Amino acid sequence: MKSTQSTATTFRRYLGIYAALWRNSLVREMGFKSNFLLWIVVEALWFALQLSYFAVIYSHTDSIAGWTKWEVVLLIGTAQFIQQLFTALFLTNVTDLSELIRTGKLDFLLLLPVNTRFLISLRKVDLGGFINAGMALVVVGYACHQLRIEPTWSQLLGFLILSAAGVCIHYALVLILAVSAFWTVRSQGVVWCYYNLFNIARMPQSAFQGSFKIIFTFALPMLLIANVPAKLLLQNLGSAWPMTLLLVITGVWCVLSEILWRFSLRHYTSASS
């Protein structure tokens, strides 16, 4: 009973801390409204260019690896939704890790009576990312309308769960890259290189073959992150195996990221030593 109460108290405490971080992020974003709006526009234009690129391709063909035009639009919208949620919640925070180490600010965070990974991962919120994620959902909804698909509530719930799994995979993989800063001091270049892998997530999985498909399905599961939730809406999974695989891989990478994070902290000697 005491353990349950303690867990509930801890949960409420961290929820309050996260709410305060949201308020700080809102104040910071509203202090630079032009920058806030500009980045929303930039991301929206980039998304539009991605859609335009495939529109040009589909003006010369009816399908790619068995995917029709609107099925691919749904896939791109799903990939954009997952990417923007990850960007909103984690990307800025994880890429800042090397600066925290280089400047010694990590020492201060380690002294706070709060889980350090929680603070490092969630201390800033990119609110524009949520707006862009909403735009992506509109595209997904419009693609479903064009395909005359009416997802059930269970499919929509499954879509959100699988999308959350995709966000967690992105976070775990980027954190694993970011902790290299404990030994290299600067790791932003390595982390931002990962950003290019988002383009793979927008591609139909069936378009790839051989070792490339194996690597980006099981090792770096870019071909699962958006394809599985998109196929769920398209009622094209065939079995529960792809969903199970995505959730299992999510768990594996999350555990590995926690192991590497703790290993890195144990070997951190602080900026003052």
pLDDT band at 64 (very low <50, low <70, confident <90, very high): confident
Does residue 247 surpass a pLDDT of 80?
yes
The first and second tokens of residue 207, run together, are 């378009």
pLDDT band at 189 (very low <50, low <70, confident <90, very high): low
User: What is the chain's length?
Assistant: 273
The answer as to whether 3 is a domain residue is: no
What average pLDDT does the segment 144-172 reach?
95
Does residue 202 surpass a pLDDT of 80?
yes
Q: Are 260 and 176 in contact (CB under 8 A)?
A: yes
What average pLDDT does the segment 172-198 reach?
78
What sign has the CA pseudo-torsion 189, 196, 36, 87?
negative
Does residue 209 surpass a pLDDT of 80?
yes
The answer as to whether 2 is a domain residue is: no
The answer as to whether 121 is a domain residue is: yes
Residue range 89-143, pLDDT digits in tens = 999 899 888 888 888 889 999 988 899 999 999 999 988 899 999 999 999 999 9
The answer as to whether 23 is a domain residue is: yes
End-to-end alpha-carbon separation of the chain, Å? 44
For 149, list phi and psi in degrees, rounded to 5. Answer: -105, 130
pLDDT at position 84 is: 94
pLDDT band at 271 (very low <50, low <70, confident <90, very high): low
pLDDT at position 257 is: 96
**Bridge partner list, 67:** 64
Name the residue range of residue 113's domain.
Answer: 12-266
Residue range 3-20, pLDDT digits in tens = 677 788 888 999 999 999
What average pLDDT does the segment 247-261 reach?
96
Residue range 69-81, pLDDT digits in tens = 999 999 999 999 9
- d(C-alpha 72, C-alpha 194), whole Å: 22
Find, among 129, 128, 126, 151, the residue nearest to 140 by Cα: 151
Q: What is the average pLDDT score of the chain?
A: 89
User: Coil, helix or strand for 4?
Assistant: helix
**Window from 108-117, 144-153, 189-198 with minimum mean pLDDT:** 189-198
What average pLDDT does the segment 191-201 reach?
77
Q: Which helix (H) or strand (E) holds 63?
A: strand 63-64
pLDDT band at 33 (very low <50, low <70, confident <90, very high): confident
The answer as to whether 95 is a domain residue is: yes
Find, among 29, 39, 121, the residue nearest to 84 by Cα: 39
Amino acid at 164: A
The answer as to whether 58 is a domain residue is: yes
- Number of domains into which the chain is organized: 1
The answer as to whether 6 is a domain residue is: no
The answer as to whether 272 is a domain residue is: no
Q: Are 233 and 144 in contact (CB under 8 A)?
A: yes
Cβ neighbors of 235 (< 8 A, separation 6 or more) are 149, 155
Residue 149, judged by CB atoms within 10 A of its CB (0-12, 13-18, 19+), counts as middle
- d(C-alpha 225, C-alpha 87), whole Å: 15
